[in-house]
Structure 1
């Protein structure tokens, strides 16, 4: 499974606090299924729940949620564009710790296709990327404005920007 690490990389790249405090970000897969194609090959699809936990976060939760949304557009676009999946595919919980910090848990339902081919006597696994569907593909620099206040800016690597 590649997506949990890709998610960590994207969130860390987009959020200066999490870059400086990497132990404040935990990502794990809590449950999943492996669905085979029912065909001759060993190709299959991983379907799993990924949990992203930001601990003791002292900033606006939008500074985490927006980079997650951007990541979803590229790596799991059906969570945005499929009417059934967008209702339940992304959930969250917030534990307000005090006046300045909170724990934020984002729960994502992800899928990942693994294509298995055979070359001579070797089995080769290739993880298929998601088909493109990104109206913001030409935007690489982002600014988050909340209630008239600029709270964060970043350059999005996954959308073609450079850090």
Structure 2
């Protein structure tokens, strides 16, 4: 489940104290499900809740949140869609300087299964599609619809006026 490894790296990069004390960052999965498909290839997916526990954290929780949101943009963009919660969290305030932080993120991971030459198979973790489009492209990365130049109703030109 490579999303777990990449999220760990993003959090450690944003939080230098975890590079010094890596045992303070713990991650585990619960509520996992395998989404199998009735396809010839046998490709499948995982869906699970990823729990991220950071103990004795002195870094501002907002720094961790910003790092996770940036990670979600690439690795789990559906979590950033309007109406979705990016993730949930609980904080145990230990003292004026440190907290224990528990973050819960719903993750999906699609896996392609392809036959290998000579038998067996190869598994590939599939990347998420980029949810952002260039300014010059329309929905789905295709050429945008042309600009509206005229509107008419019942044979009468409404826009442009007098046209």
TM-score by length of 2: 0.75
Aligned to 1:141: none
1:92 to 89, 93, 96: 89
TM-score by length of 1: 0.75
Corresponding residue SS for 1:133: coil
SS of 2:9's partner is helix
What does 1:76-155 align with in structure 2 at a 5 Å threshold? 76-81=76-81, 83-84=82-83, 86-87=84-85, 89-120=86-117, 121-134=119-132
Contact 1:73/1:134 (8 A) holds in 2: no
Stretches of structure 2 that go unaligned for 5 or more consecutive residues are 134-163
Q: Is contact 1:74-1:134 (8 Å) kept?
A: no
In angstroms, what is the RMSD of aligned CA positions? Answer: 1.5
CA distance in 2, matches of 1:56, 1:134: 36
Q: CA deviation at 1:134?
A: 4.8
Deviations 1:55-95 (A, max 9, x none): 011231112111011111111011002x34x23x5111111
CA distance in 2, matches of 1:95, 1:63: 17
Is it true that 1:58 corresponds to 2:45 in the alignment?
no
| Higher percent of residues as strand | 1
d(CA) in 2 for partners of 1:110, 1:76: 7
Structure 1 runs of 4+ with >6 Å offset: none
Computing the radius of gyration from Cα coordinates, the structure with the larger value is 2
3-state SS, counterpart of residue 34 of structure 2: strand
Q: Is the 8 A contact 1:48 1:110 kept in 2?
A: yes
Aligned length: 132
User: Greater RCO between the two (CA within 8 Å, min separation 6)?
Assistant: 1
